[in-house]
Amino acid sequence: MALLTKIKRSLFIWIAIGLVVLVSSFALIYWLGLGSGSQSSVLYGQAYSSPQLTQNPILVVVLHGDAPFNKPTYQYKLAQQGAQQNNNVVAVGLLRPGYTDLEGHHSAGQRGWTTSDNYTPSIIKAVVLTIQDLKKRYHPRKIVVAGHSGGAVITADVMSQYPDLVQATLLVSCPCDVDAFRRHMADQQNNLLWRIPVERLSPIELVHQVSPSTQITLVTGSIDSIALPTYTYRYATLLRNKGISVKTVTLANQGHEIFLRPEVLLQLKELINL
């Protein structure tokens, strides 16, 4: 019995040491419940941090796409990689309003039909309130928001509607011309839902509200058949015509699902370090 007790005690100690090492080398913070109630104004998210942080880290916020057939979690992975690969970063993968992830976490709000009907002022406001909450928590010296597909639309909308909130944005596979995108999807899917008029904020119509000081990078796949590269190029041209500096990156022979590619992480790193 004495030997068994010693073995159990030793095992417990080694497990405890392992947990301490894990937490100290890479912090994983779950916000449980912030997005679970109907009255909540803050979205569910998972936050990751670099091993060492100053009192004023760089805050990276990551938004997933419309995910019509999936329960999105890849935003957490990009946040995790962003924190791992950069110094002094807190990176938060958010679950957009109305969505549930694979683990059953949920953000309050309306998911809609995912036909560009969830780019509304109330959706944008929910994201903004969450970023403002994170700003109060972490006191960042800089805020970078990265979004994929529909999440890129929301990122661009946040950038234009609240120009003083974020300093840099990474828009990946962005259907930034929402009306053109909806017509394209209606033809591609032969689905009348895409032709029903919806309330939406289209980035291409809000260019005049973007702050010239915002650092903007757009990434598209050259063979993206969903968010056509022309939407990215058209949006970038309009921004440049307003005197706003924009970087565009085209990934050769890549389609729509490029958010976790090394090239995207490289662009995120660049924005973090600018």
Report percent pLDDT > 90 for the chain: 82
Answer whether residue 201 is part of any domain: yes
Residue 246 lies in a domain: yes
Q: Which domain holds residue 100?
A: 27-273
Structural domain includes residue 21: no
Q: Which of 17-21, 29-33, 150-154 has the highest mean pLDDT?
A: 150-154
Is residue 15 assigned to a domain? no
| pLDDT value at 233 more than 50 | yes
Overall pTM surpassing 0.75 (yes/no): yes
Is residue 4 domain-resident?
A: no
DSSP summary character for residue 195: G
- Residue 58, pLDDT above cutoff 70: yes
DSSP category for residue 255:
-
Q: Is the pLDDT of residue 120 over 80?
A: yes
Taken in order 125, 129, 134, 136, the sign of the CA dihedral is positive
Bridge partners (DSSP) of residue 219 are: 172, 249
Q: How many structural domains is the chain composed of?
A: 1
pLDDT at 146 over 60: yes
Domain-embedded: residue 17: no
pLDDT for 110 equals 87
Give domain status of residue 230, yes or no: yes
Q: What is the mean pLDDT of the segment spanning 85-104? A: 97
Q: What is the CATH number of the domain that holds 237?
A: 3.40.50.1820
Is 11 inside any structural domain? Answer: no
Residues in the chain: 274
